[in-house]
Structure 1
Amino acid sequence: MKIELIKGDITKIEADAIVNAANSSLLGGGGVDVAIHRAGGVEILEECKEIRNRQGKCKTGEAVVTTGGNLPSKYVIHTVGPVWNDDEERCCGLLSNCYINSLKLAESLGIKTIAFPNISTGIYRFPKELAAQIAVNAVKNFQPETIEKAIFVCFDDENEMIYRKLID
């Protein structure tokens, strides 16, 4: 699987699926979550409500899928990252699960390209360097059958520099 790095807006990325750093309610929150819901339109929110009605909230580390709505991507994979706290081992495991479960879900859909934001590094305060290491390791160690390319989409210069060091 090829790994790419882009600095930009994940809502404009042309990939089969983009990943949303969602909250457990799946109803939109802040940061990338609200940007994806705004750009994708009401169809994404309606599907999120259907998922909630069927299974309840999305647990931390797990992933669910909706349509891409008005986005250039066919799907949005919503995953709930951990809020950083003193339990580093637990937080790291949950963040790794976000990437692994998103990739597994993408595989089940036959997706060839998937784009990830920097999960949990905004309002959830996960240390950016540690989060990037977990993200890159999870993607590099995943054995894909259908996924040909994973794209890390960094919104800011700081994350871009961190990921560039890990990928190059």
Structure 2
Amino acid sequence: MRRLKYQEQDCELTLKEGLEEYLDHIGPDAKLTGDESNGLDEGYRQFLLGHDCQHVIFGLALSLEEESVLDTYAVKGTTGIPWKKFFKYTFSGGELTKLYKKIFKDYGATRLFSLPFRARKKKVMAWKRVKLMTKKWPWYIPEDYFSRTIKDLRDEYNIKILSEEELHFEDPTYM
């Protein structure tokens, strides 16, 4: 998969533009927008928005291996992780539950449980980059951030993304 603009360290796109670029490249099976099982509630949409913005701000694309790297950034480098909502939405029977079931069915337990192992070196690099951040990225994004450039936001938080070479995976797993 080609590298997207938001995956460049000094990206001049706004966060909104980077998010649009990211969402334009998500496969239809992975695009989550809110569904009736989750009551189409604003909390669910904000939960998803926070996750999607993490992909953009940390410069990660769409492979399951990169999701594993993003987990490191999310746990170590963000504030306000909505754990209760994560478990609520994961086990609600809604679209997030269906996505996890589909991934499990398509790739099997062995492939999925091997993802953190396959991504371990990149996860260590991400963890080291998180330690350099001047403050943690918020899960819930202030509205004014969407009009700011990704470069400006990364500079403010001292976010150093992984380069294309650092993030390379042999045979990445895409949905």
**Length-normalised TM-score, structure 1:** 0.26
More helix by share: 2
More strand by share: 1
Tell me: higher relative CO, structure 1 or 2? Use CA pairs within 8 A at least 6 residues apart.
2
The structure having more radius of gyration, on CA atoms, is 2
**Length-normalised TM-score, structure 2:** 0.26
